[in-house]
A and B are shown apart, each in its own frame.
Chain A
Amino acid sequence: MRLYRTLVAVALGAVMTVSGAIAETPKNTLVIADAIDDIITLDPAEVSEVGGVLASQQIYQPLVTFDPADPTNIIPVLAESWTVSEDGTTFTFKMNPAAKFASGNPVTAADAEYSIRRVILIDSRISFIFAQFGLTKDNVAEKVKALDTSTLQFEVDQKYAPSFVLYVLSSFTGGIVDSTIVKQHEGTLADGSNDYGNAWLKSENSAGSGPYVLTKWDPKVSILLSRNENYWGTAPGVDRLFLQHMPESATQRLALEKGDIDIANKLGPDDIGAISGNADIQILEGVSSTMYYFGLNVRNEALSNPKVVEAIKYGVDYQGIADTIGKGTIKVHQTMIPDGFLGGGIDYNPYSLDIEKAKALIAESGVATPIKLETVVWNVPPYPDYAQAVQATLSQIGVELDLQVVDGGPWLDRYRSHDLDIWFGLWGPDYPDPHSNAKAFGNHDPSDPDGTKGNLADRFGWNSGKVSDLVNQAVQEQDVDKRKALYDEAQRLHTDTSPFVFMFQDSRKVAMRNSVKGVVLGITFSDDRYGGVTKE
């Protein structure tokens, strides 16, 4: 019995004590509580939910990455170097000869070619991230190819800022899979086409080069990742990561204080406040690129008047909402690019609550009050709270919001069909480049006046004019500093003239036991890095 237990303990690597009284998590396991019931896949070519990204981020590595503390610093990962052609359309990556997969296979250009191609070839729901470079099923074989085992050529359809292309490739979509292994597990879809190993990689297997490998994903319950024994970088300080589904914030707090979990990823503002006095707990602060805003549909006659738009911007108590509702989980942020991103952090927040000024602007506009506006809000906290606070202050300047608090489905439907006056929502970039935001909020596409392809400026009926020129210039600018300057100018102009009222950016606060060291929080919603974690 004793021997059997020892064997089991060794096999699972679980350090077990003989008695039942255990107050701490196993020393060699990092236990992370999170809400993971949204995960539907772990295949890097299609993963995009918060929890799925978190897990696949530890398993797969991209060609390049960036330093979360300084995003202009692009760091080689699986590619050791790269060059860009004169015309800015051809990227050539030299693979790092030291890199190898968990299987022991070396990471070659053929793996990178296969991994990038399959995002397009499987019609992935996140294929739009690579498709914006003009990649299609028909041309991907010619645009993305391995010239030899160590050289990958990546062609884009026009000149782009190199940093833009590299940031996109650094996202979770750019995770490189072991093509030798995945090709052995390619399956066939119902229509007879190749699934490029999607079914195999989706939930039960992994084939990456990162610090951890997938041991078991028990959907909606837990994910167990174990140390990659063949990891080519510095071996992680713990043997496994255990992500436990624990949806309730108060429960996470109790389990963290008790020591049954090491990291609580989903604590609400109240629980963060309550836990901050505990000497055994540290709170790591980071940025999250998620932003809260409301959009004004300028198809509405009153809202088409810039004075009314400006008045509304002065009619919101930004700091008050951040303090009383956000309680430290959000900070006032009034520009379209989040802090932490290239071009972000310009600290341009010109608006604050000023009822007199707002009233004067309304009077100047000549629009008769009360101005009644149909406003659609998602029925999930914190949106209704934000919307009600905005409604209360706006009512003082003669703007009446008819709040319609609805389910997620109708909320998105109304947004897409733009048959409303005001829409409260959030925005999270799809990849860590400012263009993800700048294109959505600043680009004007005359061929798609209602923004059906995702241009929010057009969806809200706004011709962004000069802002559009600036953001399109920025995405092609070859020089990083000039690119940054262009975003600076575009953002100020956007904040001053657009019908978008940016209010807040999420400040992430992650509570963990003091024994945990070396967690690096990412800058998008869940690209935290656990490769360097140790437990004392």
Chain B
Amino acid sequence: MTDNLPRPLRLLLGFASWLLTVAITLVGLASLTFFIGRVLPIDPVLAIVGEKALPEVYDRVYLELGLDKPIWQQFIEYLGKLLRGDFGISYSTNRPVFTDLLSFFPATLELATIGLVIGVALGVPMGVASAYWHEKWPDHLIRVIGLIGYSVPIFWLGLVGLFVFYYKLGWVSGPGQVDVFFTGIVPRITGFILVDAAIAGEWEVFWNAVSHMILPAVLIGYFSLAYISRMTRSVMLDQLSREYVLTARLKGASEFTVVVRHALGNAAIPLVTVIALSYGGLLEGSVLVETIFAWPGIGNYLYSSLFAADMNAVLGGTLLVGIVFVLLNMLSDVLYAALDPRSRSLANK
């Protein structure tokens, strides 16, 4: 039906329907989190005033939080504020939740991005090699490496890593983002410690931050590598058994061309989804890694807010994670179009 419409209008319609999907997803997420938060067996008032406070103090905070209103009214008011970009105030940090997210999310984003780069840079070649030497020793070796990353608890690996590389060998720096010496030297511009240090030209801070980041980044990189290499392996196994591979080989194409250009080229599309999902998972923040490395990220923020019944913070953080997933989905859609000649031709029609 829409085929008859002029192209700009079609694009606009497409964009509108995408926007609608996003809106429905986020509203759904907000309502789910909101109502789960309300039925949790935590009393947010008690979390603020403590269990010994006088009744009049309890009542004051109860009213301040607006808990006397019917729950649907509280929800509508919350949604109304969200539409104006107001996530509310976190009572545990006394700051707008939005400010908190700006403060905690970059630390997670920076770590996750570096971790993902490590995971992809090693995981994809390992998956390809594993599939290529299917059931030979490289395959077994790589699968064992993957299995360890997948099954050993990450907090254990983290502690062992700290013990060996920080405490015993002294190759890397310990917990935290930078040494106390360097804390607060670099003005906060982007929130990414490496970027800010580079902007300020503070290379000592930069290298100190790198040495703090290496271990946790490698650790979560290893964790994502385990998943990415397994998925790459199974997709590649499927591709390598296809007839076009045989055809290419019969035509005399080099093994490199066959495996990397043809098979991996075709495998790239499902892999984009796998990588995007891994990235999303890392961006939720790993509570365990952040706890062990005293990393001021979003995982720790959400975790301690949840335990303090700081519902505005929990809702804000959950919505942020939701938005991250929506954006990653969008990104992988765009990448699909770029990678897949079929969808490219459709888009150009």
Other contacts beyond A38-B308, A248-B294, A254-B162: 18, CB < 8 A: A12-B185, A16-B182, A20-B208, A31-B180, A33-B294, A37-B304, A40-B93, A40-B94, A190-B64, A216-B184, A219-B92, A221-B296, A224-B184, A254-B166, A260-B180, A409-B40, A409-B46, A430-B52
Partner of A245, one of B91, B294, B309: B294
Contact status B181-A14, CB under 8 Å: yes
What is the bound-complex CA distance between A412 and B47, given in angstroms?
A: 11
A202 at the interface (CB under 8 A from B): yes
B23 at the interface (CB under 8 A from A): no
Which of A53-61, A97-105, A123-131, A390-398 is the interface stretch? Answer: A123-131
Contact status A128-B52, CB under 8 Å: yes
In the complex, chain B residues whose CB is within 8 Å of the CB of A26? 180-181
Report the nearest B residue to A41, measured CB to CB: B94
Partner of A260, one of B42, B163, B174, B301: B174
What is the bound-complex CA distance between A128 and B56, given in angstroms?
A: 10
The 6 A-B pairs of least Cβ separation, nearest first, read A219-B93, A125-B49, A409-B41, A37-B304, A125-B53, A246-B294
A350 at the interface (CB under 8 A from B): no
Contact status B175-A251, CB under 8 Å: yes
B48 at the interface (CB under 8 A from A): yes
Contact status A40-B294, CB under 8 Å: no
Contact status B179-A258, CB under 8 Å: no
Instruction: State how many angstroms separate the Cβ of B307 from the closest Cβ of chain A.
Output: 8
Contact status A29-B180, CB under 8 Å: yes
Contact status B300-A124, CB under 8 Å: no
In the complex, chain A residues whose CB is within 8 Å of the CB of B103? 218
15 contacts between A and B (CB under 8 A): A14-B183, A124-B57, A128-B53, A128-B54, A220-B300, A220-B301, A242-B183, A244-B294, A245-B296, A247-B294, A248-B292, A251-B162, A260-B180, A409-B42, A412-B51
In A1-59, the 8 Å CB interface with B consists of: 1, 8, 12, 14-17, 20, 22, 25-26, 29, 31, 33, 37-41, 48
Interface string of A208-240 (1 = CB under 8 A from B): 000000001011111010000000000000000
Contact status B180-A244, CB under 8 Å: yes
In the complex, chain B residues whose CB is within 8 Å of the CB of A254? 162-163, 166-167, 174-175
In B136-156, the 8 Å CB interface with A consists of: none
What is the bound-complex CA distance between A441 and B120, given in angstroms?
A: 61
Partner of A407, one of B41, B52, B100, B182: B41
Contact status A40-B179, CB under 8 Å: no
A413 at the interface (CB under 8 A from B): yes
In B62-110, the 8 Å CB interface with A consists of: 64, 91-95, 100, 103-104
In B296-349, the 8 Å CB interface with A consists of: 296, 300-301, 304, 307-309
In the complex, chain A residues whose CB is within 8 Å of the CB of B301? 220
What is the bound-complex CA distance between A476 and B103, given in angstroms?
A: 51
Instruction: State how many angstroms separate the Cβ of A359 from the closest Cβ of chain B.
Output: 37
Interface string of A118-139 (1 = CB under 8 A from B): 0000011111100100000000
Report the nearest B residue to A215, measured CB to CB: B184
Contact status B204-A20, CB under 8 Å: yes
B50 at the interface (CB under 8 A from A): yes
Instruction: State how many angstroms separate the Cβ of A130 from the closest Cβ of chain B.
Output: 11
What is the bound-complex CA distance between A218 and B173, given in angstroms?
A: 22
Report the nearest A residue to B53, measured CB to CB: A125
What is the bound-complex CA distance between A168 and B91, given in angstroms?
A: 27
Most buried by B among A22, A190, A251: A251
Contact status A16-B183, CB under 8 Å: no
In the complex, chain A residues whose CB is within 8 Å of the CB of B179? 22, 260
Instruction: State how many angstroms separate the Cβ of B10 from the closest Cβ of chain A.
Output: 48
B159 at the interface (CB under 8 A from A): yes
Report the nearest A residue to B91, measured CB to CB: A40
A416 at the interface (CB under 8 A from B): yes
Contact status A1-B294, CB under 8 Å: no
A-B contacts counted at CB < 8 A amount to: 148
In the complex, chain B residues whose CB is within 8 Å of the CB of A250? 159, 162, 292
In the complex, chain B residues whose CB is within 8 Å of the CB of A247? 291, 294, 300
Instruction: State how many angstroms separate the Cβ of B17 from the closest Cβ of chain A.
Output: 40
Instruction: State how many angstroms separate the Cβ of B344 from the closest Cβ of chain A.
Output: 46
B261 at the interface (CB under 8 A from A): no
Instruction: State how many angstroms separate the Cβ of A262 from the closest Cβ of chain B.
Output: 10
What is the bound-complex CA distance between A416 and B162, given in angstroms?
A: 43
Contact status A14-B185, CB under 8 Å: yes
Partner of A413, one of B41, B52, B184, B304: B41
Report the nearest B residue to A42, measured CB to CB: B94
Most buried by B among A15, A220, A454: A220
Partner of A40, one of B48, B52, B207: B48
B7 at the interface (CB under 8 A from A): no
What is the bound-complex CA distance between A203 and B92, given in angstroms?
A: 10
Contact status B49-A255, CB under 8 Å: no
What is the bound-complex CA distance between A88 and B94, given in angstroms?
A: 41
Contact status B92-A1, CB under 8 Å: no
In the complex, chain B residues whose CB is within 8 Å of the CB of A245? 294, 296
Report the nearest B residue to A202, measured CB to CB: B94
Partner of B95, one of A29, A219, A222: A219
A410 at the interface (CB under 8 A from B): yes
Instruction: State how many angstroms separate the Cβ of B331 from the closest Cβ of chain A.
Output: 30
In B14-54, the 8 Å CB interface with A consists of: 40-43, 46, 48-54
B60 at the interface (CB under 8 A from A): yes
In the complex, chain B residues whose CB is within 8 Å of the CB of A408? 42, 307
What is the bound-complex CA distance between A218 and B107, given in angstroms?
A: 14
A257 at the interface (CB under 8 A from B): yes
- In the complex with contacts A1-B201, A38-B308, A409-B43, A255-B174 CB distance below 8 A: yes
What is the bound-complex CA distance between A257 and B170, given in angstroms?
A: 12
Contact status A257-B175, CB under 8 Å: no
B293 at the interface (CB under 8 A from A): yes
Contact status B180-A25, CB under 8 Å: yes
Interface string of A250-292 (1 = CB under 8 A from B): 1100110110100000000000000000000000000000000
What is the bound-complex CA distance between A20 and B206, given in angstroms?
A: 10
Contact status A220-B49, CB under 8 Å: no
What is the bound-complex CA distance between A215 and B187, given in angstroms?
A: 15
Instruction: State how many angstroms separate the Cβ of A217 from the closest Cβ of chain B.
Output: 9
B125 at the interface (CB under 8 A from A): no
- In the complex with contacts A12-B185, A38-B308, A409-B42, A258-B174 CB distance below 8 A: yes
What is the bound-complex CA distance between A128 and B50, given in angstroms?
A: 11
Contact status A454-B52, CB under 8 Å: yes
Instruction: State how many angstroms separate the Cβ of A271 from the closest Cβ of chain B.
Output: 11
In B162-220, the 8 Å CB interface with A consists of: 162-163, 166-167, 170, 173-176, 179-185, 201, 204, 207-208, 211
What is the bound-complex CA distance between A48 and B52, given in angstroms?
A: 11
In the complex, chain B residues whose CB is within 8 Å of the CB of A14? 181-183, 185
- In the complex with contacts A220-B296, A221-B296, A257-B167, A248-B184 CB distance below 8 A: no
What is the bound-complex CA distance between A250 and B161, given in angstroms?
A: 12
In the complex, chain B residues whose CB is within 8 Å of the CB of A38? 304, 308
What is the bound-complex CA distance between A470 and B91, given in angstroms?
A: 42
What is the bound-complex CA distance between A371 and B296, given in angstroms?
A: 50
What is the bound-complex CA distance between A8 and B185, given in angstroms?
A: 7
What is the bound-complex CA distance between A222 and B104, given in angstroms?
A: 13
Contact status B94-A219, CB under 8 Å: yes
- In the complex with contacts A31-B180, A219-B95, A250-B159, A127-B167 CB distance below 8 A: no
In the complex, chain B residues whose CB is within 8 Å of the CB of A125? 48-50, 53, 57, 61
What is the bound-complex CA distance between A41 and B92, given in angstroms?
A: 8
Contact status B93-A203, CB under 8 Å: yes
What is the bound-complex CA distance between A203 and B180, given in angstroms?
A: 21
Contact status A258-B53, CB under 8 Å: no
In the complex, chain A residues whose CB is within 8 Å of the CB of B60? 123
